Chains A and B, each alone.
Chain A
């Protein structure tokens, strides 16, 4: 009996250690789009950290400290989900800012290997992203990039929480966002 309890705690330790450390390999996505509008005009659309209306999936957004470093932004998505992000860097001159996801609501709960797993609205973890506008004469390029891990930190992830799910979700968000920025700027 004692032996069993020991075994159970060892197994438990095994899983909690895995949940804390980064077994999976860090992933990344970089997308960019050319826009036929001057950089200043494009930057005007995205420069306010509290306004992410340019991203089609976002219903509303608010921050506690605007464009100040450390400002916390809560995005409410059109499907009701929320994403909380912290502003890590803001550079008006370089027309860029960086942020990290600190919290997300659950999109759905799935059963995997006999356990309930919460799939977050964006199936990633430890997600950090940069958004930047670069001037190219009278036109500009917007670059959006992110580094992150898949949502499932243990071994053998379910399909909803593996690398492919993470990469395709992030790519889809970036493409939709960049295309909309282009549309708004070239209007």
Chain B
């Protein structure tokens, strides 16, 4: 009886430990020059594991259930699949010659890989790792995002200065609209109403009505805006300015820049913690990650990562 009780207690203890570990949001930082992925435990604010990934890992996305991380490996012309809980490399395979932008649908069944060179998006089945469709898009597709209702895939066509909206049921382009020069990273608000696109060459952010791709506003930021993320209930947009070692903060109501936060050198990837308050920025030149508190607009942590930390995509598990 006592033994049984102990086993039960141990079982519960083990269960809760496992549960705790699995529930911890991790940030997965691709280190492009270091051929690795740094796993940051956001609660401890430090790297708890470094996973070797060959092929110059660049793009990253985490499945909605927090089980898998998909990494684009441009030099290996494909992607790598990581176990997001146990921090292990599960598979690596070729997709197409210019694989860079990467995202996953909300069900976790489909992986999308943008090919900047073939002007297409590969659709990969997450269970078989087979390419099941190739969607022609604009020139040099880069950042991608899937709407939370899982109906639309948005793609920034860098060399076409446009964004395309793809109907995920028919897998066809429904609409394409012009934005600023060289759109790269983009993000969508939680209601699927607004799409924010960072335009690298025109130093601004285009705000689009996500349903009809109507241009709502163009907001000036600093030099070479690269990627974007939202925080505090979609009220603030954070933009990495690659050539300004800074992050622009935009009030999404007023649709203007309200602050500029100094971070490390050549900030690239940016993602928001599930607490909707901490914003993580990968600084490519400095090999580290700045953590911004969206409320106080202060950098609250700087975490060392690997060589050429890039993390282009949604890199935090929820």
Residues of A at under 8 Å CB distance from B? 17-18, 20-21, 23, 25-28, 30, 88-89, 98, 128, 130, 145, 147
**Smallest distance from the beta carbon of A135 to chain B beta carbons, Å?**
18
- Select from chain B the residue with minimum beta-carbon distance to A145: B285
CB within 8 A of A28: which of B56, B98, B308? B308
CB within 8 Å of A: which of B47-101?
A: 56, 74-75, 98
CB closest chain-B residue, reference A130: B265
CB <8 Å contact, B117 and A18: yes
Known A20-B140, A23-B74; 15 more pairs at CB < 8 Å:
A17-B117, A20-B159, A21-B116, A21-B117, A25-B32, A25-B75, A25-B308, A26-B308, A88-B243, A89-B243, A98-B243, A130-B265, A145-B265, A147-B284, A147-B285
B308 and A21 contacting across the interface, CB-CB below 8 Å: no
Q: Which of B129-156 contact A (CB under 8 A)?
A: 140
Instruction: Known A21-B98, A28-B308; judge A88-B223 contact (CB<8 A).
Output: yes
Residues in B with CB closer than 8 Å to A18 are 117
B236 at the interface (CB under 8 A from A): no
- Residue of B75, B98, B116, B243 near A128 (CB, 8 A) is B243
Is the CB of B266 closer than 8 A to any CB of chain A? yes
Q: State A147–B33 Cα separation when bound (angstroms).
A: 12
Interface residues of B in 288-316 (CB under 8 A from A): 308
Are B223 and A28 within 8 A (Cβ)? no
- Chain A residues whose C-beta falls within 8 Å of the C-beta of B285 in the assembled complex: 28, 30, 145, 147
Q: List 11 A-B contacts (CB under 8 A).
A: A23-B74, A25-B74, A25-B75, A26-B284, A28-B284, A28-B285, A89-B223, A89-B243, A98-B243, A128-B243, A145-B265
CA distance A17 to B141 in the complex (A): 13
Of A17, A20, A98, which is in contact with the most chain B CB atoms at under 10 Å from its CB? A17
Q: What is the interface of chain B mostly: helix, strand, loop, or mixed?
A: loop
For chain B, residues 186 to 205, give those with C-beta under 8 angstroms from any C-beta of chain A. Answer: none
Contacts of A21 in B (CB 8 A): 98, 116-117, 140, 159
Q: How many A-B residue pairs have CB under 8 A?
A: 40
Q: How many angstroms between the C-alpha atoms of A145 and B285 in the bound complex?
A: 9
Report, nearest first, the 3 A-B pairs whose CB atoms are least far apart: A25-B56, A21-B116, A21-B140
Cβ contact within 8 Å between A27 and B33: yes
Please measure, in the bound complex, the distance between the C-alpha atom of A30 and the C-alpha atom of B264, giving whole angstroms. 14
Q: Which residue of A lies closest to B244 (CB)?
A: A89
A41→B244 CA distance, assembly (Å): 26
Residues of B within 8 A of A28 (CB): 33, 284-285, 308
In this complex, what residue of A is CB-closest to B139? A17
User: How far, in angstroms, from A88 to B203 measured CA to CA in the complex?
Assistant: 13
Chain A contacts for B244, CB-based, 8 A: 89
State whether A23 and B98 are in contact (beta carbons under 8 Å apart), knowing that A17-B117, A30-B285 are contacts in the complex. Answer: yes
Tell me, in angstroms, the Cα distance from A15 to B284 when the chains sit together: 28
A149 to chain B, nearest CB (A): 12
Greatest chain A CB density within 10 A among B32, B74, B117, B284 is at B117
**B245, chain A: closest CB distance, angstroms:** 9
Contacting residues, chain A, for B243 (C-beta < 8 A):
88-89, 98, 128
Give every chain B residue within 8 A of A98 (Cβ-Cβ): 243
Q: In the bound complex, how far is the Cα of B265 from the Cα of A130, in angstroms?
A: 10
Query: Which residues in window 227-266 of B have CB below 8 A to A?
Result: 243-244, 265-266
Residues of A near B223 (CB, < 8 A) are 88-89
- In the bound complex, residues from chain B placing their C-beta under 8 Å from that of A20 are 140, 159
Interfacial chain A residues near B75, Cβ < 8 Å: 25
B32 contacts across to A, CB distance below 8 A: 25-26
**Is B33 touching A25 in the complex (CB atoms < 8 A)?**
yes
One digit per residue, 1 when the CB lies within 8 angstroms of any chain A CB and 0 when it does not, for chain B 202-223 equals 0000000000000000000001
**B102-123 at interface with A (beta carbon < 8 Å):** 116-117
* Complex interface bits, B9-47 against A, C-beta within 8 A gives 1, otherwise 0: 000000000000000000000001100000000000000
Assembled-state Cα–Cα distance A17/B98 (Å): 11
Chain A residues positioned under 8 Å from B140 (CB to CB): 20-21
Cα A147 to Cα B268 with chains together (Å)? 13
In the complex, the chain B residue whose C-beta lies closest to that of A27 is B33
